[in-house]
Amino acid sequence: MRGEIDEANLAPETSLINKENQDSSATITTTLLLTTFVAVSGSFVFGSAIGYSSPVQSDLTKELNLSVAEYSLFGSILTIGAMIGAAMSGRIADMIGRRATMGFSEMFCILGWLAIYLSKVAIWLDVGRFLVGYGMGVFSFVVPVYIAEITPKGLRGGFTTVHQLLICLGVSVTYLLGSFIGWRILALIGMIPCVVQMMGLFVIPESPRWLAKVGKWEEFEIALQRLRGESADISYESNEIKDYTRRLTDLSEGSIVDLFQPQYAKSLVVGVGLMVLQQFGGVNGIAFYASSIFESAGVSSKIGMIAMVVVQISATGTCIGCFLVGLSFSLQFVKQLSGDASYLALTGVLVYTGSFSLGMGGIPWVIMSEIFPIDIKGSAGSLVTVVSWVGSWIISFTFNFLMNWNPAGIKFV
């Protein structure tokens, strides 16, 4: 109320100064770009892990003699690790900071990729995939939150979507490389962005909002000034963040149970609902096992994977894509049309992938980083991210079995 009165009584000159201060804080600086690049290196790791299981499926199952059940476990155990990582991510990020949390995640990813590279039996493949998944689960929360906290309001939406862009890029690069190199070398390459981010974390600032939250006011001012530029006037944004943080000092840190209070109901329904829609659209069935889908439909897996790289829109597009893939499998039983049906599968997968990347892939994460108050953001982010990974596990584990049972029906569903 006091803030409203003060603002209403501001002289025109003072309002103009505040407006100019807001504008000066909304500039894109070299430090902001570098910091975002380092953060989204984790998003690239995320995408690499998702894309890994598809191009290597044929070679890996042959070399280690894996059954459908064993490979389904290898593909889906990534999401089990991610569930656990997501459940812990909010608390870890609130406790040790956003930057340290990203470094913590990368240690698990590096160990995971190394375990996959050295694997000679299925159990070590699963251990490595689980470790990478744990790191992914933490990343899925901390990266979009960190980016949202370091960017000015006017740039926040655009910068946060870079998280999804780098996930898609990670998937695409892994698909492309996996079409030409072996699964062990691909696992080694997966460690490169991990190392890049680990090194970059030493030179980027911590989230100013987190520093304010834990009462490190001097470090908060330094970090905010670095992000906005040495000559920028950060007084308006600094005071805004301080006022917001101080209003929350009387609030205790929210727990999972607190999320179910009436005042958070709308935010919770939106956050959880979007993640359910995102995952049960079946994206991870496509992402994890695309090469198998292409081979089953009679399309060269290499051609299909390369084409997916090219197209990496909206919910309508994902529905159309699934319909085309399902139709292609249905038409395989019609001899006169079986040859043309394989191209429907290719077209359907490409339409689905492109549509998801531009629509439901990124939008839920952007919304999630904005709709929850800071006092429950850690717990809420963890819950919503866990819901996402539970859906991902259900799809990725059952997909191969459902493909064997009814390849057309699974796409129409």
| Whole-number average pLDDT of the chain | 76
| Residue 21, in any domain of the structure | no
More confident residue, 392 or 399: 392
Please, how many CA atoms are within 13 Å of residue 137, restricted to the half-sphere of its CB? 34
Percent of the chain having pLDDT more than 70?
63
Number of domains in the chain: 1
Residue 108: its pLDDT value, please? 96
| Residue 119, in any domain of the structure | yes
| Residue 168, in any domain of the structure | yes
Percent of the chain having pLDDT more than 90?
30
Which of 24-33, 139-148, 304-313 is the most confident on average?
A: 139-148
Residue 388: its pLDDT value, please? 76
Residue 358: its pLDDT value, please? 55
Q: How far apart are CA 274 and CA 293, in angstroms?
A: 26
Q: What is the mean pLDDT of residues 140-149?
A: 89
Listed range (97-101, 241-245, 322-326, 374-378) with the worst mean pLDDT: 322-326
Which of 26-40, 93-107, 147-161 is the most confident on average?
A: 93-107
pLDDT tens-digit readout, 63-118: 999 988 888 889 889 989 988 988 888 889 989 999 999 999 999 999 999 999 99
Please answer whether residues 135 and 105 qualify as being in contact, where contact means their C-beta atoms are separated by less than 8 angstroms: yes
Residue 7: its pLDDT value, please? 37
Residue 187: its pLDDT value, please? 95
Listed range (182-191, 239-248, 327-336, 393-402) with the worst mean pLDDT: 327-336
Q: Residue 88 is encoded by which pair of tokens?
A: 């812990």
Residue 350: its pLDDT value, please? 60
Q: Domain of 39?
A: 28-204+251-411
| Residue 295, in any domain of the structure | yes
Residue 26: its pLDDT value, please? 61
| Residue 235, in any domain of the structure | no
| Residue 244, in any domain of the structure | no
Q: Residue 401 is encoded by which pair of tokens?
A: 């079995």
Give the pLDDT band (50/70/90) at residue 278.
low
CA distances from 118 to 76, 93, 115, 125, 305 (A): 20, 31, 5, 9, 25
Greatest distance between any 2 Cα atoms in the chain: 79
Question: What is the CATH classification number for the domain harbouring 128?
Answer: 1.20.1250.20
Give the pLDDT band (50/70/90) at residue 17.
very low
Task: Report the C-alpha dihedral over residues 396, 402, 404, 406, rounded to 10 degrees.
Answer: -140
Q: Residue 54 is encoded by which pair of tokens?
A: 């598809």
The Cβ of residue 181 has, within 10 Å, a number of other Cβ atoms equal to 15
Please answer whether residues 154 and 84 qualify as being in contact, where contact means their C-beta atoms are separated by less than 8 angstroms: no
CA distances from 130 to 24, 103, 312, 384 (A): 44, 18, 25, 20
Full-model pTM: 0.70
| Residue 239, in any domain of the structure | no
More confident residue, 119 or 294: 119
Which of 41-55, 335-349, 374-388 is the most confident on average?
A: 41-55
| Residue 231, in any domain of the structure | no
